Amino acid sequence: MGGALQGPPMKLAATAEKSAALHIRQAVRADVPALIALDEEVTGLAKPKYWEEIFDRYGAPRRQPLFFLVAEQGGRIEGFIVGEVRAWEFGSPPCGWIFAIQVRPTTRLAGVATQLYNALCDAFRRTGVKKVRTMMARNNQLILSFFRSQGMMAGPFIELETTLE
Ligand SMILES: CC(C)(COP(=O)(O)OP(=O)(O)OC[C@H]1O[C@@H](n2cnc3c(N)ncnc32)[C@H](O)[C@@H]1OP(=O)(O)O)[C@@H](O)C(=O)NCCC(=O)NCCS
């Protein structure tokens, strides 16, 4: 992603055309084609295998604390969020991790991502965790602005990496 902020310029444009209520619910397998199409609309890359695998891992009903939530309005998926509780990674007590969030470009700045984020945080809270973490590209100012708006700040860990020859 580049550094430029994305999204529609006006909040009203995004809200006025929608009259049906926004509904946050667990993703189901029938959503997968719409999720793949939404991701392609946002990123310009079609990754059907990736999203099918993510759904198999996070969307199918199970007891582990994995979450794949969608925001649906008038029968159309407007956004989604994926996260999980990870325990003792880097010596850290169990915490919620958000690793994907996307909202349809024409539906942005209308609070959809905030509702998805709040629903995921409620789910995390019910598991008993006290922290929520995420990671993003350093130059992705849009996603950084969003997470900062939710009260997230730099945490105590830093990422290191190397290239394998
Ligand atoms: C980031 C994203 C999820 C936000 O979705 P959204 O539904 O528009 O977000 P919300 O309407 O809930 O916005 C909440 C707050 O985020 C911040 N924000 C969102 N979009 C912003 C923008 N274009 N510019 C500046 N701040 C922005 C604002 O503080 C906003 O609060 P405000 O409307 O009161 O100012 C959406 O823009 C998106 O899908 N972007 C691409 C995501 C991406 O890069 N994903 C890859 C990593 S997983």
* Degrees to nearest 5, angle at CA 165 with 53 and 2: 55
Amino acid identity, position 13? A
pLDDT tens column, 44-99: 999 999 999 999 888 776 666 899 999 999 999 999 999 999 988 888 889 999 99
Is position 5 within any domain?
Answer: no
Containing domain of residue 54, as a range?
11-149
CB of 28 within 6 A of ligand 1: the answer is no
Closest CA to 70 of 33, 17, 15, 19: 33
Q: Is 43 in the pocket of ligand 1 (CB under 6 A)?
A: no
Does residue 6 lie in a domain region? no
Ligand 1 midpoint to CA 114 (Å): 8
The number of folded domains in the chain is 1
The verdict on residue 57 lying in a domain is yes
Ligand 1 pocket member 149 (CB < 6 A): yes
pLDDT band at 135 (very low <50, low <70, confident <90, very high): very high
Atom of ligand 1 nearest to the CA of 103: 39
pLDDT of 161 higher than 60: yes
Looking up tokens 């891992």 gives 57
% of the chain beyond a pLDDT of 70: 87
Is the distance from the beta carbon of residue 111 to the nearest atom of ligand 1 less than 6 Å?
Answer: yes
Ligand 1 atom closest to the Cα of residue 115 is 12
- Indicate whether 19 belongs to any domain: yes
Q: Is the residue at 163 inside a domain? A: no
C-alpha distance from residue 32 to each of 75, 97, 141 (Å):
14, 21, 28
Q: Edge-to-edge strand order for the sheet containing 95-103?
A: 22-26, 66-73, 76-86, 95-103, 132-134
Q: What is the CATH number of the domain that holds 43?
A: 3.40.630.30
Domain presence at residue 38: yes
- Give a yes or no: residue 40 inside a domain: yes
For residue 15, pLDDT over 70 is answered with no
Q: Is 23 in contact with 73 (CB distance < 8 Å)?
A: yes
